[in-house]
Amino acid sequence: MTVDEVASTGTEEVTRADIVARAHALAPRLRERAAAAEEARLCPAATIDDYRQTGLIRMIQPRRYGGQEMGWDVLCEVTEILAAACGSQAWIQRICTGHAQILATFLPEAQEDVWGADHDVLISAAFDPVGRARPTEGGYIFSGRHGFSSGIDYCDWHICGGFKELDDGLDGPFFFLVPRSDVEIIDDWRTFSLRGTGSKSFQVTDAFVPEHRTLDVRKARDGRGPGTVVNTAPVYRTPRGGITTTGFAALTVGMAKGVLADWLDYTRPRKSRGVPVGAKDAVQLLAAQASAEIEAAHLLYYTVICNAQRKLEAGETFSELELGTSRRNVGYACKLALEAGTRLFNAAGGRALFEGHSLERQYRNLIGAASHHGVNWENLGVSYGKIILAEDQEAVTTPPEFE
């Protein structure tokens, strides 16, 4: 199946197998466009079109607005496939799909503002709560300078993290939803990694945000956003952290898979002063080590998300230990993926340093994905360790389950 054979956007029913097949079909295009994305420091418009046409960017959008209301497990599967082709473009697919899930937990009026007229509208975000909102008649006057807003050029609405400035101090954090007209994009995304994500900063200055375009982050964290009244699928009741962060693991592991694929293509025919490099035991060992690390990383985070999705669908809740364990495993999966990628790239030699090759681009992207604050091992490791070493915790030996 090629991308073009895929039926265009709409409310048609797609299966999990369909959507995964579409991701596979799209991957070669992402690979072709990877250099251009990097050059432009922006995800190509053609890729955004493809995401819309295939529905890959509406996987967790409400059905009411043309979405598929699929689970996190299949989203991760798709993201990992795309990330193996191009980390930056996959990043946009994952991020925008995730933001649709968040918007679906806002009040129905906010959802209608965004998607009422056009189901294809995308949302960028900047969660760090640096914005400030002063109460006014019917809403807030909001200002903030926000960074790292991936894909912002293609988005018509923006979720901003911030606090309400009440008379008795700060209240929050909250999310504030603002339209593109209230936003000034700042072209500061000059990085050596994940360039193609176009994760620029933006400024909001004294914009009016009506009450219904705010979301209490504390409720969102618990999976109790007001939008869950109309969007009743289990995926909208997801507590933040631990489960949703598997997306970064999917991206990071996918990029590591990309590095491995490129490294194999590069190494298989390679000779070093006449000797085939791939014939050396030591190189075979290295390939196995990196590959086992990547497979372990994949199965580790994927076990987490399959288990979580099953619990969500069964209407179960998550203990602190469960969420902490999920976060920890996401962090460790990213650590393993980075180790694998570093091992491979380090063995590729000086020729691999030249710019414009997929191997070096994927490796640079991997470095960036693995250093995202959401997967910082020191933070995630400590947060789990604190829970498990508290005297009243149940045994650590409880294994995660696939089914």
Partner 1 sequence: MATAKKEATIPTREEVLERARAIAPRLRERAEACDAARMVPVETIEDYREAGLFRLAMPRRYSGYELGWDVLCEVSQILAAACGSQAWIQRICADHAEMVAGFPPQTQDEVWGEDHDVIISAAFDPVGRARPTEGGWIFSGRHGFSSGIDHCVWHICGGYIEEDDGSLDGPHFFLVPRQDVTIIDDWHVMGLAGTGSKSFEVKEAFVPAHRFLDGPKARLGITAGQAVNKAAVFRTPRGGITSTGFAALAVGMARGVIQDWIDYTRPRKSRGTPIADKQSTQIIAARSAAELDAAEALYLGTIRRAMAVLEEGGSLSAFDLATSRRNVAFACKTALKAGTRVFNAAGGRALFAPSSMERQYRNLLGAAAHHGVVWDVAATAWGKLVMEGEDW
As given in the structure block, the two tokens for residue 85 are 């082709």
Q: What are phi and psi of 336, to 5 degrees?
A: -60, -40
Smallest CA-to-CA distance from 51 within 68, 39, 71, 72 is with 68
CB of 87 to partner 1, least distance (A): 19
H or E stretch at 160? strand 157-166
Give the whole-angstrom CA distance, residue 135 versus residue 84.
45
Instruction: Supply the DSSP symbol for 148.
Output: E
Pick 130 or 347: Cβ nearer partner 1: 347
- Binding residues for a second copy, rule CB under 8 A, total 43
Length reported for the chain: 403
Smallest CA-to-CA distance from 198 within 36, 325, 319 is with 36
Q: Which residues pair with 214 in a beta bridge?
A: 176
Give the whole-angstrom CA distance, residue 68 versus residue 87.
24
Q: Please, which of residues 81-120 interact with a second copy by CB under 8 A? A: none
- Asked whether position 378 contacts a second copy by CB under 8 A, the answer is yes
- C-beta atoms surrounding 9 within 10 Å: 15
- Asked whether position 283 contacts a second copy by CB under 8 A, the answer is yes
Pick 23 or 369: Cβ nearer a second copy: 369
Q: Please, which of residues 31-50 interact with a second copy by CB under 8 A? A: none
Pick 169 or 190: Cβ nearer a second copy: 190
Q: Which does 115 bind (CB under 5 to 8 A by kind): partner 1, a second copy, none?
A: none
CB of 125 to a second copy, least distance (A): 14
Alpha carbon distance, N-terminus to C-terminus of the chain: 30
Q: Please, which of residues 284-343 interact with partner 1 by CB under 8 A? A: 284-289, 291-293, 295-297, 299-300, 302-303, 325, 328-329, 331-333, 336
- Asked whether position 402 contacts partner 1 by CB under 8 A, the answer is yes
Pick 207 or 255: Cβ nearer a second copy: 255
Can you give the binding site for a second copy, defined by CB under 8 A?
128, 148, 188, 190-194, 272-273, 280-283, 285-286, 338, 342, 345-350, 352-356, 360, 364, 367-368, 370-373, 376-379, 381-382
